[in-house]
């Protein structure tokens, strides 16, 4: 049903002409990268914290759902307004408010693009470690909402480890700050880490104080190919079991390599599996670090190990990883993209189990991802209606396997709409009950992003 006239009047008094109710504008904010969609009744574009407070109060007064949105790169339907209502797009809150090299922090609004922030930090010799593959267009607010990290998380951590504090608005319209401007703090409950990964169900983030890290002086890129996925998975466990932590450790299985080879040609090798490894640090210590990682990469099933000598050669070595997404889209526009996580030592069992399920359900599955964290992107590639039905049955068994291996449903994509029915597999009833109580404390009328995360 359409929004009450009184609410529309209030929204226009808050946002002026930055309130859109036309069909074209509503459609543009109805979907995300999950390909799910649902029309909102209105779209608004906040530019300051006070507007967000007024917006939440107005929606609460009329019991109207409110969904926060960054740039829509989420793959789980987390920003799809399934119950209609108002979408708040934060794309106009894109100011970098402060860069403080002395204290290694930056204060930003949620609409700042990850890649834009990295470019602004580079002249100061600093970076913010989270670097999802969507960094050229995803927003910091979206990174925080899903705890989206990327390959550097293996060494530098996720947004939770790299965010000092937040300013936000709870579901009752109350604005608040949490966290600190210091790297240490033990004052009360850690609301900052609670909000990160909550997918806009607890509060709307309007400002973030980010913990920065000095840019490494040098990076070396290695590529190792293996006879089969089991040998590569065992190598991952060896690499992560020695003292030198790589800054990236990416795994690509045989099926993925064949797809990428067909798309990108001979720059992509054909092998049973491939590891892309990066090591960073100071030039004086880098040779020893590369030697240690190389020694761990060697073992039963290794076919080749190559260290890039130049930046251009490193770019060529990464060609297989870069070619994966376009290669998958050419054969399965309706791919199902999951990002499960298991303890690194269980990665060989996960890889073998996924291969077994692919054969059982007769579904093409491509696996690759951030192996150093045990975070595997499992891509089911159904090509017709029958395969889509089998893929969904297969997915339930993939999740069950992950839980059996002491893993969890998501590393950085979040739960959103698509995985919420599986939450009871990963979270016991008592913990789910506590989560619901936390939701009620922050959002007493349940207006913030309803239908997401909690089953």
Domains observed in the chain:
5-89 (3.30.43.10), 96-214 (3.30.465.10), 218-404 (3.40.462.10)
Query: How far out from the chain centre does Cα 170 lie?
Result: 23
d(CA 121, CA 136): 15
Phi, psi for 128 (deg, rounded to 5): -100, 120
d(CA 101, CA 109): 18
How many residues make up the chain in this entry?
A: 455
d(CA 378, CA 361): 15
10-residue stretch averages of pLDDT, the chain, 455 residues long: 93 98 96 92 98 98 98 94 97 98 98 98 98 92 96 95 98 98 93 98 98 96 94 93 95 87 82 95 94 96 93 80 69 80 91 93 91 92 90 94 96 93 95 98 98 95
Contact 450, 82 (CB under 8 A): yes
- Residue 328 half-sphere exposure toward CB, CA atoms < 13 A: 23
Contact 37, 54 (CB under 8 A): no
DSSP classification of residue 113: B
Question: What pLDDT does 433 receive?
Answer: 98
Question: What pLDDT does 326 receive?
Answer: 66
Burial label for 226, CB within 10 Å (0-12, 13-18, 19+), is buried
Question: What pLDDT does 156 receive?
Answer: 97
């Amino acid at each position: 049903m359409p929004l009450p006239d009184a609410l529309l009047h209030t929204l226009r008094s808050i946002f002026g002409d930055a309130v859109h109710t036309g069909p074209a504008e509503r459609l543009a904010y109805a979907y995300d990268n999950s390909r799910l969609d649902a029309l909102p009744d209105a779209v608004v574009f906040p530019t300051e914290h006070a507007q967000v407070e007024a917006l939440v109060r107005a929606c609460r007064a009329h019991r109207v759902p409110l969904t926060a949105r960054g740039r829509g790169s989420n793959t789980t339907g987390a920003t799809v307004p399934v119950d209609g209502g108002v979408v708040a797009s934060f794309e106009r809150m894109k100011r970098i408010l402060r860069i403080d090299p002395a204290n290694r922090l930056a204060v930003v609004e949620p609409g700042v693009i990850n890649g834009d922030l990295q470019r602004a930090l580079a002249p100061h010799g600093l970076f913010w470690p989270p670097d999802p593959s969507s960094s050229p267009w995803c927003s910091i607010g979206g990174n925080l909402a899903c705890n989206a990290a990327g390959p550097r998380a293996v060494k530098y951590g996720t947004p939770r480890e790299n965010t000092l504090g937040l300013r936000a608005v709870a579901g009752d319209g109350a604005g608040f700050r949490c966290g600190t401007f210091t790297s240490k703090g033990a004052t009360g409950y850690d609301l900052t880490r609670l909000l990160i990964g909550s997918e806009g169900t607890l509060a709307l983030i309007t400002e973030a104080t980010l913990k920065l890290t000095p840019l490494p002086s040098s990076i070396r890129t290695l590529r190792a190919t293996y006879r089969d996925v089991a040998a590569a998975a065992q190598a991952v466990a060896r690499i992560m079991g020695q003292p030198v932590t790589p800054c990236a450790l990416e795994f690509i299985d045989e099926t993925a390599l064949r797809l990428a080879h067909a798309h990108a040609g001979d720059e992509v090798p054909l092998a049973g599996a491939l590891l892309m490894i990066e090591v960073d640090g100071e030039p004086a210590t880098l040779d020893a670090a590369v030697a240690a990682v190389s020694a761990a990469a060697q073992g039963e099933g290794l076919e080749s190990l190559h260290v890039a000598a130049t930046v251009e050669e490193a770019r060529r070595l990464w060609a297989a990883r870069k070619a994966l997404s376009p290669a998958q889209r050419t054969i399965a526009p309706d791919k199902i993209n999951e990002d499960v996580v298991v303890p690194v030592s269980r990665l060989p069992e996960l890889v073998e189990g996924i291969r077994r399920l692919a054969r059982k359900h007769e579904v093409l599955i491509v696996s690759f991802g951030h192996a150093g964290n045990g975070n595997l992107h499992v891509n089911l590639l159904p090509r017709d209606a029958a395969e889509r039905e089998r893929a969904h049955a297969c997915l339930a068994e993939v999740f069950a396997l992950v839980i059996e291996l002491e893993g969890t449903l998501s590393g950085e994509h979040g739960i959103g709409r698509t995985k919420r029915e599986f939450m009871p597999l990963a979270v016991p009833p008592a913990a789910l009950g506590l989560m619901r109580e936390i939701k009620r404390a922050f959002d007493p009328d349940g207006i913030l992003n309803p239908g997401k995360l909690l089953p």
